[in-house]
Amino acid sequence: MKCMICDSPCDYYFSKSYALHPFGDVMNSIRDVDYFRCQRCGFTSSKTHRLLSAAQLQELNVKVHELNENDPDIRNYVNQPPYAEQALMIGLFRSYGLIACDGMLDYAGGVGTLSNLLKKLFGINLQIYDPYMQAGDLTRYVRDPRDEHYKTVVNSAFFEHVISRSDLDSVNSMVAQDGCLILHTLICETIPRDPDWFYLRPPVHVAFHTNKSMNILMEQWGFRSSIYCPQSKSWTLFHLEFEEIRDKMDQINRDLQTTWLYGKSGFVDYWKGF
């Protein structure tokens, strides 16, 4: 098995059983999941999910999504993205000229929670493309934007679901050469060798990125700098050099009278101690 990030060999890391509540029923035909870790960059992913058919994967994702939407116990068990903080960050970035909002796309935006907040709070129009589901106001959905490029692409809670490199590249392919990618997922220094790790709770979390793997991915995609916002747990990747965005980032921190944003050349390894 090769790493989808750097193409290096991967070794068996650990296994997790999903036989118990709340996901035992939906994982009835799978149960145990085997995770492999890249020798070079530490990227860790499920070999079990890679071997499932497209129909099996779709069925699993639909079942888990239905549980998440309809069972309050599941929603308390699984963390939701910090949508309010993400909306505030995007609103600030627009006001200070860090990003352009005249061409925005939320890739895999689901039911449009972030899009709704941005429209209500800041009057920002965030279009949605989701190849997996559509709901709510369908006028905000883009049917097939694969030949389009956007100044700002938002991607929230998707990178942990990918099973192939093409899943990742499809997101980046929509970012304009002078645009940026806003990314929300969990990224740490080393993926714990622990089946009880909280980020493994949903059986559709199958890919876990490290600071090193994300820095490699940034370089492959041509991004040169990044900003991290702990409140929104989101990274913004820029094709610009860090010196070209630093003044605007520093001005936001000064106006908020706190270090709300962290930036550097390459990938911001904020969770280096974890």
pTM above 0.75, yes or no: yes
Place of tokens 């009880």: 196
Rounded Cα distance between 2 and 39, Å, is 10
Are 27 and 204 contacting, i.e. CB atoms less than 8 angstroms apart?
no
Instruction: Say whether pLDDT at 165 is over 80.
Output: yes
pLDDT of residue 58: 82
pLDDT of residue 138: 52
Rounded Cα distance between 83 and 99, Å, is 18
**Of residues 173 and 273, more confidently modeled:** 173
The distance of Cα 239 from the centroid of its chain, to the nearest Å, equals: 18
- pLDDT per residue over 108-159, tens digit each? 887 788 999 999 999 999 999 887 665 545 556 666 666 789 999 999 999 9
- What percentage of residues in the chain have a pLDDT greater than 70? 89
Rounded Cα distance between 215 and 189, Å, is 11
3-state secondary structure 216-233: HHHHHHCCCEEEEECCCC
Instruction: Say whether pLDDT at 166 is over 60.
Output: yes
Instruction: Say whether pLDDT at 178 is over 60.
Output: yes
Which helix (H) or strand (E) element contains residue 252? helix 246-256
Question: What is the SS3 assignment for 14?
Answer: strand
Mean pLDDT of the residues in the chain: 90
Question: What domains sit in the chain, N to C, each tagged with a CATH number?
Answer: 10-265 (3.40.50.150)
Rounded Cα distance between 267 and 3, Å, is 19
pLDDT of residue 240: 97
Are 5 and 43 contacting, i.e. CB atoms less than 8 angstroms apart?
yes
- pLDDT per residue over 52-111, tens digit each? 998 888 888 878 877 766 666 666 666 678 999 999 999 999 999 999 888 899 998 877
